[in-house]
Amino acid sequence: MNRIAHSLLLTCLLAAISLAAQPSISRLEPLGVKRGEATKVTLHGARLSDAREVLTDLPGLTITEVKPLDNSKVEMTVTAAPDLVPGLYPLQLVTDSGISNLRLLGVGAMPVVAEVEPNSEFESPQKIELNTTVEGVVTAEDQDFFSVDLKKGQSLVVEIEGIRLASNQGNRFLDPFVAILDAGRFEKATRDDIPLLQQDGLCAYTAEQDGTYAVLVRDASFGGSNDARYRVHIGTFPRPIAVIPAGGRPGEILTAELIAMDGSKQSAQIQLPSEPADRFPAVSEDESGISPSPNWLRVNDLVVTMEQEPNEELQKAPPGVVPGALCGVIGEPGDVDYFAFEAKKGRKYLLQMYARGTLRSPLDSVVNVYGPDSKRVTGNDDSGNSPDSYCEFSAASDGTYRIRINDQLGNGGPAFGYRLEVTEAEPEVELDLAELDRYQAVSLPIPRGGQMAVMVNAKRKQFGGDLNIEALDLPAGITATTYPMRGDRPTVPLLLSAAEDAGKTASLVDIVATPAAEKLSHVRGGLRQNHKLVLGQNRRDVWNWETKRVAVSVAEPVPFRLSVVNPQVPIVRNGSMSLLVKVERNEGFEGEISLKSLYNPPGVTVNNSRKLKKDQTEVAVPMTANGGSSLGTWPMFLIATTNGGNGSVRITTEPIPVEVQEGFFKFEFPKSAAEQGTENVIVIGLEIAREFTGEAEVELVGLPPGVSSAEPIQKITNETEKVAFPITVAADARPGTHKTINVRARITSDKGVITQTQGTGELRVDKPLPPKKEEAEKKEPEKKPEAKPEPPKERPLSRLEQLRKAREEG
Amino acid sequence: MIHPIRISFSALLAGCLAAAAIAVEPEASVAPPQPAEALSIAAYPPSIQLNSARDFQSFVAVLTRDDGVTLDVTEQIEWKLAAEGLAKLEGNQLFPQADGETELVGAYNGSEVRIPVKVSNATVRPAISFKKDVMPVLTRSGCNTGSCHGAARGKDGFRLSLFGFDPDGDHFRVTREIGARRINLAVPEESLFLKKAIGSVPHTGGKLFDPDSDYYATLLEWLEDGAPIDPADNQPPAVASVDFFPPQAVLEGEGVKQRFVAVANYADGTTRDVSRLAAFTTNNPTSTEVDAYGGVQSGPRGEAFIMARFDTHTVGSQVLVLPEGLEYSAPEITGNYIDQLVGKKLQQLRILPSGLCSDEEYLRRVTLDITGLLPTREEYDNFMQDTAEDKRAALVDRLLGRKEFSEIWAMKFAQLLMIKSSNQVSYKSAFLYANWLTDKFARNVPMDQMVRELLTAEGGTFSSPATNFYEVERDTLKTSENVAQVFMGIRTQCAQCHNHPFDRWTMDDYYGFASFFCQIGRKTAEDYREQIVYDRKSGDVKHPVGGRAMEPTFLGDGVAETRNKDRRAVVAEWLTSPENPYFSKSIANRVWAHFMGIGIVDPVDDIRVSNPASNPELFAKLGDKLVEYNFDFRQLVRDICASEAYQRSVVTNESNQADSRNYAHALPRRISAESMLDVVCQVTNTKEKFRGLPLGARAVQIADGRTSTYFLNTFGRSPRDTVCDCEATTDPSLSQALHLLNGNSISGKISQGKVVDSMLKEDKLSAEQIIDELYVRSLTRLPTDEEKKQLLVSVSEAPDEQQGLEDVFWAVLNSREFVFNH
């Protein structure tokens, strides 16, 4: 256990170290603001002294007066629009040298007060007004009590934002528990986790009599720390836990039912946005208040079919429109919903459930599809890491297919809403960026006059082929160099360069991909970046936030210039090569520059531990290509990192065109044998796969200890078929079979050296046979005299041949 | 004074022998009463069946004296058959001659016993069956024990299945495994198989029987027949049950003999005398010696259980050995139903119970047992000044109402359910699971309901914490073993690999029961720390011999109907039903053991035929009561605490000092680790800090079994690694004593708690008063005059009064009286 704990600790430390490169924000103070009011917010973190602006991903926040207080604090003024939907708003801080991690700012409609200790005893709660947001902290095993006065019949709702505010404490996190207690300390309502809010809690209680009630906040298992901060919303606001149906078509006014925590329903009209949205926030507002966080809806062009009870029987399944969204509720325990639709033979249908995903419904869906013959075609319980189901099938015949939806545990209730999107397979593409630092979403500060590359990964669905990548909305002064992504590759570099005279600009950049094929020109895919805000043990994902753009800024220049001598010769399969990197340092800069490759062509490995020390001006970075490496010319990049004074800074080199070619030679290794204290010849067969120009030589390497060759390097021509290396086996050479023999072929021309290596041959070193004995006379003495004289002759015999010969002659 | 014994003894015997008496002879009950001694004779078996020319049956007659002592009078009785020509009498054995029905009549001293005899197929000599005849000889001769050929890899190149769980495999290995080596069908006498057994060739196991024995004859005849295996369509009948006679014997003096007879009842209704085939053992070799054929000879005073094992069945009879000429006058039995049954047993054993304990002792004992804490000064005063008749019962009621009671039991079950965090079970899961359990006890949820909820739990380990039962142990077989052990007190582990050698459980039982738990599905919830447990509705357990899928089978109670049902729900329903023969008794026994220091069956989770209850009637009665109370065991606790058995003093008398199993006196018990720490904190007025609990939380409230302290480990806290009740130990040890003496627990807490300091400075008490206070606080009694005198001297000799008094406090806490519940 100890060992495990240690390794975990180590992981955390490593993570911390890798984070140390960029400016980072660990928390906001306060954690949230009231909309419509200008609030001073302090960002706490590290390497913040050169902060200059804040990027926000969602509209509605106005941030002004960003000013560093010291290297670990930045103050800013935040004004949220008075009609901004309450909830969480991501922001990233841009400094002169980098861009921080993403943090969430809470925006609410109620006044914010801070927790005041002592409030850890039921008897001594902190008195607050109804409809207040309290910001507090759960220290180790701490309990916080807040008291409010309620009139009989008044409903008290408590919603906490704990984990959602990303109080990351290494591999632990605040997992809040909330409760409403009456004056007699009886728990009237409690909640640990609720699917709607993940690990955050939500509970409600309608007062049975006038009185003072207490709200309790603690960690679910009495954890807590000085970083376990939360915002708890205590008030009479509406807080639906489900909206049914949870989505509609762009621009329409959705008539939906809002489900309250007690299961009661209320009808509502929701104006949907004119553009499709994967997650559209809908908040509920009435005279008693506004819900502190939204319910999420899906807005797209699919036609909605609402379930119509009764629909519990396969044969009586009511029809639904497909392609379309099938919406409904698993209304009670054991409930099952069926839908029927007409499928066309040969078409491929995709069924994606949205229940826990987006809607945050308690439903743990199971989806099954039955064909026209009522036989099950396909089905799914969970997919990916989500309890939501996903399945696809190609219709084997025209006819009525039926879909069955139920809860895996047979649970059900008014809030168990779902939206099953059934679509026909269409080409799609989705992009993300390969992490440069582990567990950290990419952001790209580009040093002025330098460039930085990042790998763009693409997921193509229902099509293949080349993709064109494009970067949109780049900050002024930054240009992008893109490369087409080959059809057989899921990834390609994107290079951003900042002009020497670029200003202090920054923006969130869209990256899009379009298939190169003409007929797919309507397909267009964008970026999804997953910001891992809370990680658990073993760095497992607990809470994350998705954005569709990447932060790019112009940063201060790095104190050196890097150039790479572009190789003039290819690297061949089974070959190796070195990249020569040269550095020009600015006056006075003596820092160490470490080099690693951003991206290797498939099958190519680069030594990532090369460094340029202060007195070095160049270094060779070796790389090798294996026998299966992909042929072609690839842009390669090396990342150079150095300490920029306040955290590390990095750039990539200009693209290095590396060509991978087929090898020139095929060597054939015989199995050789030699006795201690003798001389022998190792003959290696050679096939010239393709003709070379220039001089070529072959070197024998990897001889076992005690074995040497007088001429380990032999010249070859395009006609050579065999290369023979004389060897001398010392009397004390280690006996046994040595499988270490390699040949290294070099083709030298004025452009450079092409190296190809091949292994492995086998050399067996034998001990001389012992002096003959009486009994062993019959066979062995004959063998010996024959075996001995042979080796020095032209063609050495393999061991098998030796034995054969021995038998013939004997 | 002799009178009461006679009454109770005849009542007991009437109960024990009821079956026999009815079956044996109507005449016995109408026999003219003996003028001087009321004698009763019983003969066994109650009826004799002879089913083939091979069959025979031995019998035995027992005379019961009016003082309950039994005599084996088989030899003294004159036996004859009512109708001649049907069977032949040889000694105490009967052999068939011709078909028909008659009676075996025995005459003794004017009275008569009769055994009905039925002979059928008297001339039919069935062929030797491998399973029915050969296997029992191998088992009886010890060939297939673990130390011989039954070992996992066999012995000396020959392997048999352990205790014969795989007869078909054994047949293969005897006849086919090594060509013609083991058997020689041409010259059967020359078979190695036989020659080894009679020791005519070297055999590591030595000589097992003589060539002229019936065992040899059986094997030889089988070989002469061609060593056949039983045809698949004509399998021999299975053994349905085994009877063992007489059911009880009370032997007076050493060297007295009693013969026992074992009879197997087959599924086809036939019977067989297996006295020469069964294995006989005793659980008390000092008091009783048993020979290879069921003959018992008495030794020194004691109680024993003689067992016979045949096939997969183990049966037993109780044998009491009393000293010769013991003078004993039985006291009157008073008290509740518990005392009636305890008293009856004590009379049987001629043991005198100790007297009742004092009020002070009772207060301390019952408070510790029910709440795990000591009575406070105030509670002491109230109780001592209370003059009400039923003040002890009222005290029990008050204590049962306290939450500490539920916490103690939640902790006990948390240990049995192995609640602790691990790689599978997150701290939060363990915490919620322990809270769930505590909540069940606090809300007085009946045990059956709680167990049903636990076994059928479904959903997330956070949202439905009882599901952690299936997360703490994820292995199907272990889960089923744990269920059997925790809720029925049955250990089935042996039967995983072979039929249980000391109990009735076979591999079929084991895998049949395991298949209730093989359809549990698990998946990770959204929160990676949470697992979802659900009914997978598919999956089987395969029998390791043959690989057939096992049908879910209740332990000892037939196949279950589980189609379209959650198998766990079916087994939970069966387990917790009032008719279940194990559940209520096992739970009641655990409760009893907590209060009495030793279970009626002990260990409490090892209920098996060969570990019989010390008082079977009480064992059954407590189980019945628990059912009657709808599984609310608070009520049972009331009964136990109200019994005289519980209230007895620890002081022993001459007759009961050697006895620990019959509740003739109270057993001093070391306080359990968690309670010990809580009590130390309580008397020293200090607080402990445990992970995940607020400062001052008590050790019994620890949710996660991984949380511990040096103190708790030293005092034998349960590591919660297995479901065994034995994990928490209360054995005193040197390190415990040294820890209390030298460690910082006692001295540190004394100075930290400032108890003496505040008595001196705030309450302004005198040294004498403080000594009184410390005694009451720690030992629930006032010091004796002698103690006080000596302590005052030592206080006066100390450098200052406070230190002297703190030394007194330290000494009190280091006394054995403090560490024990007595």
User: Could you read off the pLDDT of A192-228 as tens digits, one per residue?
Assistant: 999 999 899 999 999 999 999 999 999 998 888 888 9
CB distance A660 to A640 below 8 Å: no
Q: What residues contact A617, with CB distance under 8 A and at least 6 apart?
A: A582, A583, A584
- Band of pLDDT at residue B681, cut at 50, 70 and 90: very high
SS3 of residue B379 by DSSP: helix
Q: How far apart are CA A366 and CA A346, in angstroms?
A: 25
pLDDT in tens, B383-409: 999 999 999 999 999 999 998 999 999
In Å, how far is A149's CA from the nearest CA of chain B? 28
- Band of pLDDT at residue A775, cut at 50, 70 and 90: low
Does B526 contact A at CB distance below 8 Å?
A: yes
- Nearest C-alpha neighbor of A54 from the set A70, A73, A78: A78
Looking at per-residue confidence, does A793 or B105 come out higher?
A: B105
Q: How far apart are CA B788 and CA B775, in angstroms?
A: 10
Q: Does the distance separating the beta carbons of A536 and B459 come in below 8 Å?
A: no
B690-707: average pLDDT: 86
Smallest Cβ distance to B527: which of A199, A382, A386? A199
Q: How far apart are CA B498 and CA A433, in angstroms?
A: 59
Q: Is the peptide bond before A310 cis (omega within 30 degrees of 0)?
A: yes
Enter the tokens of residue A271: 């104006």
Smallest Cβ distance to A221: which of B427, B524, B527? B427
Enter the tokens of residue B280: 């006989």
Q: How far apart are CA B596 and CA B243, in angstroms?
A: 33
In Å, how far is A385's CA from the nearest CA of chain B? 7
CB-CB neighbours of B790 under 10 Å: 12
What is the structure's pLDDT at A168? 63
**B230, pLDDT greater than 50:** yes
In Å, how far is A379's CA from the nearest CA of chain B? 15
B353 to each of A525, B240, B344, B345, how far by Cα in Å?
89, 42, 11, 11
Q: How far apart are CA B314 and CA B412, in angstroms?
A: 32
CB distance A32 to A84 below 8 Å: no
Element (H, E) at B502: none
Q: What is the DSSP string of A204-255?
A: EEE-SSSEEEEEEEEETTS---TT-EEEEEEES----SEEES-EE-TT-EEE
Residue of B526, B688, B708 to mutate for A, most A C-beta atoms under 10 A? B526
Q: Is the peptide bond before A118 cis (omega within 30 degrees of 0)?
A: yes
Residues from chain A that touch B524, judged by Cβ atoms under 8 A, are 385
Q: How far apart are CA A373 and CA B738, in angstroms?
A: 79
**B5, pLDDT greater than 70:** no
Residues from chain B that touch A536, judged by Cβ atoms under 8 A, are 528-529
B58-87: average pLDDT: 90
CB-CB neighbours of A797 under 10 Å: 18
DSSP state of B233: T
Q: Is the peptide bond before A323 cis (omega within 30 degrees of 0)?
A: yes
Q: How far apart are CA B60 and CA B92, in angstroms?
A: 7
Residues from chain B that touch A386, judged by Cβ atoms under 8 A, are 526
What is the structure's pLDDT at A330? 95
**Distance linking the first and last C-alpha atoms of chain A:** 67
**B17, pLDDT greater than 60:** no
Beta-strand ranges (E) seen in B236-342 are 239-245, 248-252, 257-259, 261-266, 271-273, 279-282, 288-290, 295-298, 302-310, 313-322
CB distance B259 to B249 below 8 Å: no
CB distance A22 to A443 below 8 Å: yes
Nearest residue in B to A411, CA atom:
B459
Q: How far apart are CA A340 and CA A313, in angstroms?
A: 11
CB distance B297 to B279 below 8 Å: no
Nearest residue in B to A534, CA atom:
B527
Could you tell me if residue B495 is left (phi over 0), alpha (psi between -120 and 50 degrees) or otherwise beta? alpha
A441-450: average pLDDT: 94
Cβ under 8 Å to B: A residues 772-801: none
Q: What rounded mean pLDDT belongs to chain B?
A: 89
Looking at per-residue confidence, does B693 or A5 come out higher?
A: B693
What is the structure's pLDDT at B1? 36
What is the structure's pLDDT at A537? 85
CB distance A174 to A138 below 8 Å: yes
Looking at per-residue confidence, does B734 or A770 come out higher?
A: B734
Enter the tokens of residue A334: 């054991």
What is the structure's pLDDT at A17? 39
Q: Does the distance separating the beta carbons of A195 and B692 come in below 8 Å?
A: no
Q: What rounded mean pLDDT belongs to chain A?
A: 89
**A5, pLDDT greater than 50:** no
- Nearest C-alpha neighbor of B306 from the set B642, B612, B682: B612
Site of tokens 């001006």: A617
pLDDT in tens, B454-507: 999 999 999 999 999 999 999 999 999 999 999 999 999 988 888 887 788 889
B602-617: average pLDDT: 90
Does A274 contact B at CB distance below 8 Å?
A: no
Q: Does the distance separating the beta carbons of B525 and A222 come in below 8 Å?
A: no
CB distance A31 to A292 below 8 Å: no
One-letter identity of residue A378: T
Q: Does the distance separating the beta carbons of A223 and B532 come in below 8 Å?
A: no
Residues from chain B that touch A216, judged by Cβ atoms under 8 A, are none
Smallest Cβ distance to B523: which of A222, A356, A382? A382
Nearest residue in B to A381, CA atom:
B523
What is the structure's pLDDT at A514? 95
Residues from chain B that touch A222, judged by Cβ atoms under 8 A, are 431, 692-694
Site of tokens 């030899």: B75
**A498, pLDDT greater than 90:** yes
**Out of A556-570, B691-705, B781-795, which region has the weakest mean confidence (pLDDT)?**
B691-705
DSSP state of A319: B
What is the structure's pLDDT at A331? 92
A105-114: average pLDDT: 95
Percent of chain A, pLDDT > 70? 94
Q: How far apart are CA A697 and CA A748, in angstroms?
A: 8
Nearest residue in A to B459, CA atom:
A409
CB distance A243 to A161 below 8 Å: no
Separation of CA A540 from chain center? 12
- Band of pLDDT at residue A588, cut at 50, 70 and 90: confident
**B10, pLDDT greater than 70:** no
**A728, pLDDT greater than 70:** yes
What is the structure's pLDDT at B132? 92
SS3 of residue B298 by DSSP: strand
Backbone angles phi and psi of B758, in degrees to 5: -75, -30
CB-CB neighbours of B739 under 10 Å: 18
Backbone angles phi and psi of B8, in degrees to 5: -70, -35
**A460, pLDDT greater than 70:** yes
CB distance A648 to A21 below 8 Å: yes
**Out of A14-23, A101-110, A615-624, which region has the weakest mean confidence (pLDDT)?**
A14-23
Radius of gyration of chain B (CA): 31
**A293, pLDDT greater than 80:** yes
- Nearest C-alpha neighbor of B318 from the set B288, B352, B274, B351: B288
Q: What is the DSSP string of B125-193?
A: -PPPPIIIIIHHHHHHTTTTSTTTTTSTT-BTTB---GGGS-HHHHHHHHHTTTTTTS--SSSGGG-HH
- Nearest C-alpha neighbor of A278 from the set A361, A383, A354, A390: A354
What is the structure's pLDDT at A527? 95
**Distance linking the first and last C-alpha atoms of chain B:** 32
**Out of A510-519, B22-31, B228-237, which region has the weakest mean confidence (pLDDT)?**
B22-31
pLDDT in tens, A301-347: 999 999 988 888 999 999 999 999 999 999 999 999 999 999 999 99
Residues from chain B that touch A382, judged by Cβ atoms under 8 A, are 523
In Å, how far is B702's CA from the nearest CA of chain A? 12
Separation of CA A573 from chain center? 30
Site of tokens 């409903």: A155
Does A737 contact B at CB distance below 8 Å?
A: no
What is the structure's pLDDT at A477? 94
Q: ipTM of this predicted complex?
A: 0.83
B151-180: average pLDDT: 88
Q: How far apart are CA A767 and CA A784, in angstroms?
A: 12
Residue of A122, A196, A221, A380 to mutate for B, most B C-beta atoms under 10 A? A221
Q: What residues contact A68, with CB distance under 8 A and at least 6 apart?
A: A48, A49, A50, A51, A74, A75
Furthest CA-CA distance within chain B: 103
**B38, pLDDT greater than 60:** no
Q: What residues does A572 pair with on adjacent strands?
A: A661
